[in-house]
Amino acid sequence: MVILISQIVFVLSLLGILFIIVRKLPALSRLPEEPLAERVSFKMIIQWPGNVIKSFFSSNFFQNVLVADLEKSLRKFKIAALKIYNAVDKFIEKLKGKSGNGMPR
């Protein structure tokens, strides 16, 4: 049974790959026939990581999306911290009520 399921998954994966390749054949036929080495120089390869990092940090993606996600995460952390504080406070009040040293609120 396990072998049959694995064979079905394998065949479906192959069919999916073939479907993607057939759909991309027109785009693949429009690609230039000259090799990549003629279009890319060694200088471009060395400068590429620096350019990518510089453009990433100066882009709107970094400034808008990443900062928004950070703000959202900090808000969730604040809510979780307040919930923990509230639970600890209730626990302390319960302990005070059991010991009789203080008045419960």
**Distance between CA 105 and CA 99 in Å, rounded?**
14
For the question of whether the overall pTM of this predicted structure is more than 0.85, the answer is: no
The size of the chain, in residues, is: 105
**Distance between CA 44 and CA 51 in Å, rounded?**
10
Question: Three-class SS of residue 34?
Answer: coil
Under 8 Å between Cβ of 89 and 83: no
- Across the chain, which has 105 residues, the per-10-residue mean pLDDT values are 90 93 84 62 61 67 75 92 95 84 55
- Retrieve residue 86's tokens: 């509230």
